[in-house]
Amino acid sequence: MAATKNQQAKARSSAILDLEMFPHIADLIMNFAPHASLVKLRATSRYLKRRSEAVLFRHLLIDSKGRFSTPKGLLPKLAQDEFLDMLRKYTRVVEYEGYIDFTRTAHYLPSSVARDH
């Protein structure tokens, strides 16, 4: 029995890309995605949550009031223990602006960074 044109069109438009099978494609998508998209992708699946958080938390900024953000925008709201976990797992660059009172923020930073200041 031959498939109708409608069934063929539906089959073509419903192709699914399994990003877990093609992690390099997931990495490309995450690295080029706008900040707002990364924040929204966190809600789609556990896999994309981990991937987007790795990009979001890779490079952090700390302002003179001790607030954390990224070069592209604000971080998603997280519980303190979840925030610390993301910081430890994914952060590779921390930039700070002005004078930072490290007595307020040192517990967030890796010990090697906090020890140097």
In this prediction, residue 110 carries a pLDDT of 59
Query: What residues does each domain of the chain span?
Result: 21-116
> 96: how many CB neighbours lie within 10 A of its CB?
18
- 22: phi then psi, degrees, rounded to nearest 5: -130, 65
In this prediction, residue 55 carries a pLDDT of 93
- Provide mean pLDDT across the span 18-37: 89
Residue 62 forms beta bridges with which residues?
A: 68, 96
pLDDT band at 2 (very low <50, low <70, confident <90, very high): low
What's the rounded Cα separation, in Å, for the pair 1 and 24? 39
pLDDT tens digits for 71-113? 989 888 888 889 889 989 999 998 988 776 666 666 666 565 5
In this prediction, residue 105 carries a pLDDT of 61
